[in-house]
């Protein structure tokens, strides 16, 4: 088989908000030459669009329609980062705002929204060569992924990480506000009926509470094998 047709490995990284999975997944993708896909950003995009259009986050039919008709595309920026373009507009900053943080779990709990976004995610991952992060990647989106990781950390540590991230972006939020938001999202994400946050039976579990990003990245790279012999 020619090199162009070789199928590269896929890596699923799941875990709760603030577990460090996005930062880690992005780094792993760059270091292993794979494409990084942030599935949470897609749920955030639909939430942002609903808020902008004044659609109630309890109106499941309208949310499902939005998820089906909205174009969501990741484009690589000159600095190597990937931005989310929604219907052609770069919404990467706005999807991290507090109104979106507060509403996204409701949107992500809607069955038809999930069906539409899972389909888009599976298309993006169909040819392999991706590191995808989310909540249901190992269980639903890419059950065939060669590697599945489930990252977690204590709720206090996860809230501190999110708070530092938002502060660094100049957002004025209190740690208490973030703690409440994370606890609320944990509750909704893990108890919802459709594809709740749950490790795949064959996922490797890692508690990152006491670990730096570098340590987590190294741990995963060791598992996957830095020499890329895992690339099929
Ligand atoms: O990873 P994040 O914080 O950007 O995710 C935003 C929300 O979307 C979060 O509440 C869980 C939900 N989500 C999901 O249900 N399934 C995914 N694959 C990714 C995110």
CA of 135 to the centre of ligand 1 (A): 6
Q: Which two tokens stand for residue 90?
A: 């770069």
Segment 163-201, tens digit of pLDDT: 998 899 888 889 999 999 888 888 888 888 888 888 999
Q: Which of residues 45 and 184 earns the better pLDDT score?
A: 45
Instruction: Answer yes or no: are the C-beta atoms of 37 and 120 closer than 8 Å.
Output: no
What's the rounded Cα separation, in Å, for the pair 133 and 135? 7
Q: How long, in residues, is the chain?
A: 232
Q: Where are the domains of the chain?
A: 9-217
Our mutation pick for probing the ligand 1 site, out of 108, 118, 133, 163, counting the most ligand atoms within 8 A of Cβ, is 108
Ligand 1, atom 20, residue with closest C-alpha: 40
Segment 107-161, tens digit of pLDDT: 999 999 999 999 999 999 999 999 999 999 999 999 999 999 999 999 999 999 9
pTM for the whole structure: 0.89
Q: Which two tokens stand for residue 138?
A: 């190992």
Report residue 97: phi and psi, to 5°: -75, 160
Q: Which atom of ligand 1 is nearest to the CA of 185?
A: 10
The Cβ of residue 128 has, within 10 Å, a number of other Cβ atoms equal to 19
Right CATH for 9-217 from 3.30.930.10, 3.30.450.70, 3.40.50.300, 3.90.420.10: 3.40.50.300
């Amino acid at each position: 088989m020619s090199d162009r047709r070789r199928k590269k490995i896929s890596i699923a990284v799941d875990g709760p908000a603030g577990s460090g999975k996005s930062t880690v997944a992005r780094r792993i993708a760059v270091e292993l030459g794979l494409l990084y896909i942030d599935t949470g950003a897609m749920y955030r995009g639909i939430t942002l669009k609903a808020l902008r259009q004044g659609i109630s986050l309890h109106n499941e039919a309208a949310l499902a329609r939005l998820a089906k008709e909205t174009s969501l595309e990741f484009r690589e920026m000159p600095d190597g980062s990937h931005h989310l373009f929604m219907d052609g507009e770069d919404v990467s900053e706005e999807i991290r705002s507090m109104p979106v943080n507060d509403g996204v779990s409701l949107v992500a709990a809607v069955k038809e929204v999930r069906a539409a976004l899972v389909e888009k995610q599976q298309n993006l991952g169909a040819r392999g060569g991706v590191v995808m992060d989310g909540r249901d990647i190992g269980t639903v989106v890419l059950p065939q992924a060669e590697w599945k990781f489930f990252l977690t950390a204590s709720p206090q540590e996860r809230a501190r990480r999110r708070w530092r991230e938002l502060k660094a972006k100049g957002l004025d939020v209190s740690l208490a506000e973030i703690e409440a938001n994370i606890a609320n999202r944990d509750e909704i994400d893990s108890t919802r009926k459709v594809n709740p946050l749950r490790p795949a039976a064959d996922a490797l579990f890692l508690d990152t509470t006491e670990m730096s990003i570098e340590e987590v990245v190294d741990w995963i790279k060791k598992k996957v094998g830095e020499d890329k012999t895992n690339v099929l």
